[in-house]
Structures are given as structure tokens and as C-alpha cells.
Amino acid sequence: MPLNLVLYPPFTMRKRVLKTAAITGLLLTTIGNAYSQVNILDWSSSFSPAWAPGNTSGTALNIGGTTVNCTVALSFSGTGSFTAPYPRVNANNAQPADFQVQSSADALEIDQDLANKTSFSQIVYTFSKPVQNVQFGIADIDYPGPGTPFNYIDKVTITATGPNGSVTPVITKYNGSSAVFSIASNVCTANSGAGGANVSSLVQGSPAQDGTAFVDFGTGAITSITIQYGTVNNGNVRNNPRLQAISIGNLTFIPLSGLPIAFTQLEAQLKDKEVSLQWQTLASKEEGLLYVERSRNGLQWESVPGVNPFRIIADTKYNTVDESPFPVVTFYRLKQVSITGEELFSRIIRVNTTPSGNTYIRTYPNPFRSTFNLEVNWPETERISIRVFSMAGQIVHQSTASIQKGFQVLTLPDFSKLPKGVYSLQVTGNSISQLSTINKQ
């Protein structure tokens, strides 16, 4: 089965549009007035009554006029207690002694004292209606140092459920090179050999955010989110952990849309310091516009400079270029806007804009439920073979793709019918073979 990856030659024009009609300023203004907005579950203003210091639950009603309500409740599994005056909201980041979360105007700081290292706290969001594109940040995932036994080694696990079952987030670091914590699927764990993240200062303003993770659930439909906060349970941690703390930023979302998706997955390739982006619309036509958006952190988004919105034309290939991506890493997505103002977003893809010269493959999300993205940093332009093996050695997927020298992102076909389990992914070129492990949920 051939992989549907389309690569286009570089263009010299600033506006890159293929088979796309020009969009007038008047049309943009008319549709723009009907856009639905990304909604914010704001710690300082969404809850009624307001979240008071020491509260362990609160309810936000009709968030952003969407009729979506959300209840947030904190509790313990095992034995532990919150340390007064926490949980406390740092409204507008005005509390100098409280943590801040990068890119969030407010944060809920949670200070806890666990009676044993098998206990943990739980922060549960429950939505009255399904939502999607849920994103938020968590700060101060670290350990205190300097030597054993440590008071704690932070461990944060994020899960979610919705109408279609469990939803696994894509988690990224604010500082991609930070060694303070590691990410394995939906779990963030402090690295006890890396030193504390921000324990030297309780003011976690930028740029002191080495212990900050961004959580993104993409287009998965969600009705509840659970954050488990505890410590690693091993011999390097005290039997009775002492005070440990994290901070959770404002949460953004849009209500689940009934809008039919009009496009295939977005794909990207880094070449000569530019990022080439490609996608294709489906045969069934959906009226509206497609915007190509980018972000430096996966939370705040902007249209790619110099790229106009695209009319949705059925069964059409599109490509465009970001001539000046952000340094280190840039996130991309498509935003589909219907003529009635409904919005739908593609899966977010991440492009390493200063990739290592080493050959590697990387997959995300991992574990995955239906499909995953494959990052490839390859030494030459050639046609590669992609094979997925079961643990018994049986080939369950085989395809080929033409790739360019350097970094690119490929979207693999739908694996939703593949049984749950661990599989081996092999990418082979003329003289190189790379292996990776993937986990199907």
C-alpha cells in the first residue's frame, strides 16, 4: 500500500497557492465576524463563586457563552493533604510567591504533602458537553536535589476520556532541550540527575520554565481530564515525601464541532531553513476557508506570515511555505472555517527547525489510537520502505515513500483496526535502516 505523501519543489513566489481562488478583504471581514473563538477556562474569572484559597472544587458555567460547563475537583488517592493556602489561584500572575505557567495569564498552584510515596493527588475536569482542541500548561515538574534520599521526584500523568473512549495527549516541553524532566507518552517524570527546575526561585516567570510541559489533546472529543500528581516510587525517594508543588495554567478549548472535515492530514518538510507544508482536500466539498497556522509553543497560534487563506475546493492538492519558521521548533495546524462560522482543526504537527545532523526516526503520539506522525531526519533523497511488525515478527503494514534529504514529517495510514499491543516500526533506505517501537492503544 503506497503512502500518500506528496512533496513539491520549492517556489520563489511569496504567496504560494495551488488551484486556489483569490480571497478578497471583504469576504475575510464578513466571515471573520462569524468566527467562533477559542474559549478559555480561566482560573481567575470563569468560576462562580470565584476560586478561593484552599478550595478543592469549583464550577465554571457557560464558559465563553458556549453553554459548556466544567467542574474541577481535587482529591487524594491514598493519604495526603494540601498545604494552606493552596490550592490557590495566581490571578494575572500577581502573586510574587506563586508559580507562573508560561503563556498563561493565571495559574492554580497545588502544594501537597503526601504521607507515603504511593499516594498522589488527582485533579479532575468534568465537562457538561464534549470539547476538543483542549490545551494547557503545567509548570515546575522537577525534584529538589541535591542528594538522596530525595523528598520527592515529581511524576505527572495526564489522561482523558470522551464519547469515543480514551484520548491520549501530545505533550511537549516549553524548553525542548531541558533535561529537568522526561516525557513518555502521557507521563512527565522529573530526572533526578538534572537538578531542580525552579526551586531556587518561587517566581517562575519566563525564561525560568525548564520544568514546564504543554498538553495538547488535538481534535479528540473529551468529556473529562484527570491529572495525577505524585512522586516516583523508588529507593531514591523518602518514604514520607515532603512538600512538592506544581502549577496548572488556564485551559483552552472549543466545543465539539459537527463540521465535516474537508482535508487530509497536514504534512511538513524542512528544506533550506524553510518549512514546506502540504495537504489535500477530500472529494466531498465543504464550503469555507482553510487557514495555515503556526505556533512556537503549541498554545498561541497565528497565521503563517505571507500565506492567505485558501478556499476549500474538493479533491485538490495544496502546498505553501513558511519562509521564517520559529527557531528550534515550530508547530503547525490547519484551521477549517465554514460559512456558518464553525471551526475544525487538523492534528498538530511539530517540525524541528534546527534538527540534528544525525539520522533518526521518531513517532508521536506514542502510544497512539488510530494513526501517528513519523518524523524522519534522513541523510539523502531517496525512496524508503516503511514496515510495521508485530512482536511475533509478522508484517502488519508495508508501504513506501519518496523523501528528501533532511527533516520531514509523514502521516501514516489509519491503524484503528490493528489490535492493541506493542509493534516494531522499521524505516529502510538504500544503505540505512532505523527501528523504533510503537504502542497501539
Q: How do residues 239-283 score in pLDDT, each as one tens digit?
A: 888 889 999 999 998 887 655 667 777 888 888 789 999 988 877
Residues 277 and 403 in one domain: no
- Domain range for 281: 1-33+259-354
Residues 159 and 236 in one domain: yes
Q: Which of 332, 354, 376 is the last residue of a domain?
A: 354
Q: How do residues 84-124 score in pLDDT, each as one tens digit?
A: 999 999 998 888 778 888 878 899 999 999 999 999 999 99
Q: Is 314 exposed, middle or buried (0-12, 13-18, 19+ CB in 10 A)?
A: exposed
Q: Can you give the CATH number for the domain in which 7 is found?
A: 2.60.40.10
Residue type (1 letter), 42: D
Residues 162 and 196 in one domain: yes
Residues 348 and 378 in one domain: no
Do 264 and 319 contact (CB within 8 A), yes or no?
Answer: no
As for how many domains the chain has, the answer is 3
DSSP per-residue codes, 177-238: T--SEEEETTEEEE-TTS--SSTT-S---TT--TT-EEEE-TT--EEEEEEEEEE--STTB-
To the question of pTM greater than 0.75 for the whole model, the response is no
CB atoms within 10 A of CB 342: 18
In the block, cell 491520549 appears at: 168
Q: Which of 206, 229, 255 is the last residue of a domain?
A: 255
Residues 240 and 166 in one domain: yes
Q: Which of 255, 271, 296 is the last residue of a domain?
A: 255
Query: How many angstroms separate the CA atoms of 376 and 409, rounded?
Result: 6
Residues 370 and 346 in one domain: no
DSSP per-residue codes, 298-346: SSS-EEPTT---EE--TT-EEEEEESSPPSSEEEEEEEEE-TTS-EEEP
Residues 280 and 215 in one domain: no
Residues 343 and 283 in one domain: yes
Q: Can you give the CATH number for the domain in which 397 is found?
A: 2.60.40.1930
Q: Can you give the CATH number for the domain in which 237 is found?
A: 2.60.120
Residues 179 and 268 in one domain: no
Residues 78 and 225 in one domain: yes
Residues 299 and 323 in one domain: yes
Residues 315 and 371 in one domain: no
Query: How many angstroms separate the CA atoms of 161 and 220, rounded?
Result: 9
Q: Which residues of the chain have pLDDT under 70?
A: 1-37, 146, 193-208, 257-261, 284-286, 354-357
